[in-house]
Copies of this chain bind each other. A is one copy, B any other.
Amino acid sequence: MMAVQQIKMVKNILAGNDELAARNRQYFQSHGILAINVMASPGSGKTSLITRTIASLGQGARIGVIEGDIAGSIDTEKVLEAGAVDAVQINTGGNCHLEASMIQKALESFDLNSLDILFIENVGNLVCPTHWSLGEQIRICLLSTPEGHDKPVKYPEIFAASDAILLNKIDLIPWTDFNRDFFYESVRALNAQAPIFELSCRSGEGIEDWVVWLRKKQHHVERTQASSIPPTPAG
Contacts and interface: CB of A to CB of B under 8 A. Distances in A.
Interface of A: 2, 5-6, 9, 12-13, 41-44, 69-72, 74, 94-96, 123-128, 131, 144, 146-148, 150-151, 153-157, 169, 171-172, 175-177, 202
Contact of A124 (B9, B154, B169): B154
B42 A147 contact: yes
A202 B146 CA distance: 11
A12 B150 CA distance: 36
- A44, A126, A154: which has the most chain B beta carbons within 10 Å? A154
A41 B151 CA distance: 11
Contacts of A69: 154
Chain copies in the assembled complex: 2
Given A5-B9, A71-B156, A157-B94, A126 B127 contact: no
B9 A127 contact: no
Most buried by B among A5, A127, A153, A171: A127
Contacts of A13: 6
Contacts of A9: 2, 5-6, 9
A131 B94 contact: yes
Contact of A74 (B6, B41, B128, B150): B150
Contacts of A156: 70-71
A96 B127 contact: yes
Contacts of A202: 177
Nearest 8 CB-CB pairs, A to B? A43-B147, A96-B127, A146-B146, A72-B153, A41-B42, A43-B148, A41-B41, A72-B154
Interface-centre pick from A44, A144, A147 (highest chain B CB count, 10 A): A147
A139 B140 CA distance: 32
Contacts of A171: 175
Most chain B CB within a 10 A radius of its CB, from A42, A96, A125, A153: A42
Contact of A70 (B71, B123, B155, B176): B155
A12 B125 CA distance: 25
